[in-house]
């Protein structure tokens, strides 16, 4: 059997340690060892975005990212966005525009939209569509997500 190795990384701001095997991916690690289920494996191919996590400031597909590779990294998950019990502007906007149905893809969308607005505080429709190409919603809430992004952009400017 292949031995586990110990990795150290920062998870939502706190230093943590985990034992991982080479074939474990980040989604499994977060779910099994940290009880964080906001990142989920759906398509398993980096196409749907349900597994989105932020590694060293960049969005990645947790289902295609070996857990070993986050040794020493800063990892941020959707669970950090409402720190202190306050929803982020993006989360508020998703609720106010009803930009979700079943909610399974929603954490991934919320994280990607947060990244999008960090990069483009006032995005055009085209920028939104291109940035979110890799986030699919089988309930097809795309028009509502478009509205949520615009509302969130406004909220962030006001904040």
Partner 1 sequence: MAKITQDAAKVGAQVGRSVPRLEGRDKVTGRAEYTHTMRVPGMLHAKLFRSTVAHGRIKSVDTSAAKKVPGVVAVITIDDVRKVIPDPYYGPAFHDQPILADGKVRFVGEPVAAVLSFDPHIADEAVQLITAEYEELPAVFDEVDALTSKVYVHDVLKPAGTFADLKHLKNAKDTNMALDYRLRRGDFDKAYAAAAHKFEHEFKTQKVLHLPFEPHATIADYKDTGVTLHTASQGPSFVRTEIARLLGWQENKVRIKVPYLGSGYGGKLYIKLEALALALSMIARRPVKVALTFEELFYQITKHPCTFRIKSGVDKDGKIVARKCEVYWNGGAYADIGPRVTQKSGLTASGPYDIDNVWIDSYALYTNVTPSGALRGFGVPQLVWAYESHTDMMARELKLDPVEFRRKNIMREGGEHTTTHILKDAACEKAMDTVLERMNWSKPFDKGKGVIRRGRGFGVAIKAVITPTTSVAIVNVSADGSVALYCGTVDMGQGSDTAMAQMVGEVLNIQAESVRVVQRDTDVTPYDMGTLGSRSLFHMGHAVKRAAEDAREKLKALAREVGEPEGSNIPIRELFVKRYGMQAGNVIGSGIFKPDYIPPAPGTGLSKNVTAFWMVSSAGAEVSVDTETGHVKIDKLVNVVDCGKPINPRIVETQISGGATMQLGFTMFEKMHLDGGQVTNASLADYKIPGFHDTPTVMENVALEVFQSNGPFGAKGVGEVATFCVSPAIANAIDDAVGVRLTELPLNPEAVYRAIRAKAGKPLEDE
Partner 2 sequence: MIPFDLAEPKSLSEAIKLLDPDDATVRPIAGGTALMLMMKAGVFRPQKLVSLRKIESKYSGIVASHDGLRIGAMTTLGVIERSAEVRKHAPVITRTMITLSNVRVRNVATVGGALAHGDPHMDLPPVLMALGATITIVGPKGERSLALEDLFSGYYETTLEKNELIAEVHVPSQGPKKAAYMKVTTGSADDWPALGVAVVMEADGKAIKSARVVVSAATTKATRMKSAEAALAGKTVDDKVLAQAGDAAAEDAEILADVRGSVPYKRELIRVYVRRAVRAAIDGQGAH
Backbone angles phi and psi of 157, in degrees to 5 = -70, -40
Q: Which of 21, 120, 150, 156 binds partner 2 (CB under 8 A)?
A: 21
Which of partner 1, partner 2, none interacts with 58 (beta carbon under 5 to 8 A by kind)? partner 2
What distance, in Å, lies between the first and last C-alpha atoms of the chain?
Answer: 52
Would you count residue 115 as binding partner 2 (CB under 8 A)?
A: yes
Question: Which one of 31, 33, 34, 64 is in contact with partner 2 (CB under 8 A)?
Answer: 64
Q: Smallest gap, in angstroms, from Cβ of residue 79 to partner 1?
A: 6
Cα–Cα dist 38/27, whole Å: 9
Min dist CB 38 to partner 2, Å, is 15
- Site track for partner 1 across 54-73, x = CB under 8 A: --------------------
Sequence-distant (6+) residues with CB within 8 A of 65 are: 25, 26, 53, 55
Q: Is the dihedral of CA 36, 42, 46, 48 positive or negative?
A: negative
Compute the distance between CA of residue 26 and CA of residue 104 in angstroms, rounded to an integer.
17
34 is an interface residue for partner 2 by CB under 8 A: no
The gap from C-alpha 138 to its chain's centroid, in whole angstroms, comes to 17
Q: What is the binding site for partner 1 (CB under 8 A)? A: 1, 21, 23-24, 31-32, 36-40, 42-45, 47-48, 50, 77-79, 81-82, 87, 91, 94-96, 98, 100-107, 110, 128-129, 132-133, 135-145
């Amino acid at each position: 059997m292949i031995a586990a190795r110990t990795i150290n990384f920062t998870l939502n701001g706190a230093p943590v340690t985990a034992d991982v095997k080479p074939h474990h991916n980040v989604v499994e690690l977060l779910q099994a060892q940290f009880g964080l289920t906001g990142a989920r494996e759906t398509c398993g191919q980096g196409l749907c975005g349900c597994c989105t996590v932020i590694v060293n400031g960049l969005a990645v597909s947790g289902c295609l990212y070996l857990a070993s590779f986050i040794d020493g990294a800063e990892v941020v998950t959707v669970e950090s966005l409402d720190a202190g019990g306050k929803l982020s502007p993006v989360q508020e906007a998703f609720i106010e525009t009803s930009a979700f149905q079943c909610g399974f893809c929603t954490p991934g969308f919320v994280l990607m939209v947060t990244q999008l607005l960090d990069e483009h505080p006032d995005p055009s429709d085209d920028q939104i569509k291109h940035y979110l190409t890799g986030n699919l919603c089988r309930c097809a809430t795309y028009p509502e997500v478009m509205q949520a992004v615009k509302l969130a952009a406004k909220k962030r400017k006001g904040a």
